[in-house]
Amino acid sequence: MSAATSPEVIKEPSMVKQKEMIAGNYDRLTSTKESGEKVVSTFVPGNLNELIMCFDMVNNLPETNAIQNGMRKVSGGMIMDAEKAGHSEDVCTYVKADIGMMGRGNIAPNGKPMPAPDMLLLSYTGCFTFMKWFELLRHEYKCPTVMLQIPYQGDGKITKNMRDFVVKQLKEEVIPMFEKVSGVKFDIDRLREYLKNSAKAEDNLVWVLESAKNRPSPIDAYFGGVYYIGPMFTAFRGTADAVEYYDLVRKEIEQRIREGKGPITPEGDMKEEKYRLVVEGPPNWTSFREFWKLFYDEGAVVVASSYTKVGGLYDQGFRHDPNDPLGTLADYCLGCYTNNNLPQRVELLEKYMNDYQADGLLINSIKSCNSFSAGQLLMMREIEKRTGKPAAFIETDLVDPRYFSHANVKNRLESYFQMVDQKRSGASLAAA
Amino acid sequence: MECFVGIDLGSTTTKAVVMDDKGQVLGRGITNSRSNYDTAARVSKLEAFIDARLSLIRRELEKVPAVADRVDEILSGLTRNFRREQFVEQLGDLEQTCVANVEGPRFAGKEKAIIGALTEVFRRLREEEADKLFAPTAQRKSDFFRDLAGSRFMQIGEEVARDAGVPFDHLLHMYDKSIIEVENRPPSADMNRKFRTAMERVRGELSGADLDTAALGAPIDAALDVDMVERYVVGTGYGRVRLPFPKEHIRSEILCHGLGAHLMYPKTRTVLDIGGQDTKGIQIDEKGIVVNFQMNDRCAAGTGRYLGYVADEMNMGLHELGPLAMKATKSIRINSTCTVFAGAELRDRLALGDKREDILAGLHRAIMLRAMSIISRSGGITDEFTFTGGVAKNEAAVKELRQLVKENYGEVKINIDPDSIYTGALGASEFARRAVVEA
CA-based nearest distance B252→chain A, Å: 5
Cα–Cα distance measured from residue B212 to residue B64, given in angstroms and rounded to the nearest whole number: 11
Domains, chain A, in order of start with CATH, read 13-185 (3.40.50.11890)
Cα A389-A410-B429 angle, rounded to 5 deg: 75
Q: Where are the domains of chain B?
A: 1-67+212-265+424-439, 82-183, 267-416
Contact B412, B385 (CB under 8 A): yes
Nearest Cα neighbor of B224 from B87, B72, B430, B82 is: B82
Chain A residues lying within 8 Å of B292, measured CB to CB: 384, 390-391
- B70-83: string of b/e by CB count within 10 Å (b at 16+)? bbebbbebbbbbbb
**DSSP, residue by residue, B127-146:** IIIHHHHTSTT---S---HH
Classify domain B1-67+212-265+424-439 at the CATH class level.
Answer: alpha beta
Q: Answer for the pair B298, A403: CB distance below 8 angstroms, yes or no.
A: yes
> Taking CB atoms and an 8 Å limit, are A395 and B291 in contact across chains?
no
Alpha-carbon Rg for chain B, nearest whole angstrom, is 24
Please confirm whether the linkage preceding B205 is cis (ω < 30° from 0): no
The shortest CB-CB distance from B290 to any of A377, A405, A419 is to A419
Region A109-116: mean pLDDT is 95
pLDDT, residue B13, reads: 86
CA distances from A401 to A87, A386, A406 (A): 17, 35, 10
Cα-based torsion angle of the residue sequence A132, A134, A137, A138 in order, rounded to the nearest 10 degrees: -100
CB contact under 8 Å between A381 and B287, yes or no, is no
What is the residue-level pLDDT of chain B in tens, covering all 439 positions? 999 999 998 877 899 999 999 999 999 999 888 777 888 888 899 999 999 999 999 999 999 888 888 889 889 999 999 999 989 999 999 999 999 998 888 888 888 999 999 999 999 999 888 888 888 888 776 777 888 888 888 889 999 999 988 899 989 999 998 988 888 777 676 888 899 999 888 888 877 667 777 778 888 889 999 999 999 999 998 777 677 677 778 898 899 999 999 999 999 999 999 987 788 999 999 999 999 998 876 666 678 888 888 888 888 888 888 999 999 999 888 876 677 777 788 888 888 999 999 999 998 998 898 899 899 989 899 999 999 988 898 999 999 999 999 999 999 999 999 889 999 999 999 999 999 987 7
Q: Please, what's the b/e burial string for B281-315 (b: 16 or more CB within 10 A of its CB; e: otherwise)? A: bbbbeeebbbbbbbbbbeebbbbbbbbbbbbebbe
- pTM for this entry: 0.82
What residues of chain A lie within 8 A of the CB of B255, using their CB?
415, 418-419, 422
Phi and psi at residue A59, to the nearest 5°: -90, 125
CB of A426 within 8 Å of a chain B CB? The answer is yes
- Can you give the pLDDT at residue B40? 87
Q: Do the domains at B1-67+212-265+424-439 and B267-416 have one common CATH topology? A: yes
Q: Compute the distance between CA of residue A268 and CA of residue A10 in angstroms, rounded to an integer.
A: 6
Q: Do A422 and B379 touch (CB under 8 A)?
A: no
DSSP-derived pairing of the beta strands A264-265 and A268-269? antiparallel
Neighboring chain B residues of A419 at a CB cutoff of 8 Å: 252, 254-255, 289-291, 293
How far apart, in whole angstroms, are the C-alpha atoms of residue A341 and residue A107? 37
> Among residues 375-414 of chain A, which lie with CB inside 8 Å of chain B?
377, 381, 384, 390-395, 403, 405, 408, 411-412, 414
Write the CB contacts of B359 (distance below 8 Å, at least 6 apart in sequence): B332, B334, B346, B349, B350
Chain B closest-CA separation from residue A76 CA (Å): 17
B242 vs A contacts (CB less than 8 Å)? none
**Cross-chain Cβ contact B255/A412 below 8 Å:** no
pLDDT at A4: 45
Cα–Cα distance, A425 to B28 (Å, whole number): 29
Query: What DSSP element (H or E) covers A394?
Result: strand A391-396
A415: nearest CB among B254, B287, B289: B254
Residue A194 CB partners (closer than 8 Å, separation 6+): A49, A50, A53, A54, A238, A239
Question: Of B355, B350, B342, B335, whose CA–CA distance to B306 is shortest?
Answer: B342
Q: Do A377 and B289 touch (CB under 8 A)?
A: no
pLDDT at A429: 53
Give the CA-trace dihedral at B395, B396, B401, B407, to 10 degrees.
130
User: What is the average per-residue pLDDT within A153-177?
Assistant: 97
Contact A426 B251 (CB under 8 A): no
Nearest to B252 among A390, A415, A423 (CB): A415
**Is pLDDT above 50 for A1?**
no
Domain B267-416 has CATH 3.10.180.10: no
- Say if residues A163 and A330 touch (Cβ distance below 8 Å): yes
Distance CA B3, CA B25 (A): 10
All residues of chain B having their beta carbon less than 8 Å from the beta carbon of residue A392 are 293
Question: Would the CB atoms of B252 and A418 count as touching at under 8 Å?
Answer: yes
Task: From chain B, pick out residues whose CB is under 8 angstroms from the CB of A408.
Answer: 295, 297-298
The nearest alpha carbon in chain A to B290 belongs to A419
Query: Could A422 and B298 be called an inter-chain contact, meaning their C-beta atoms sit closer than 8 Å?
Result: no
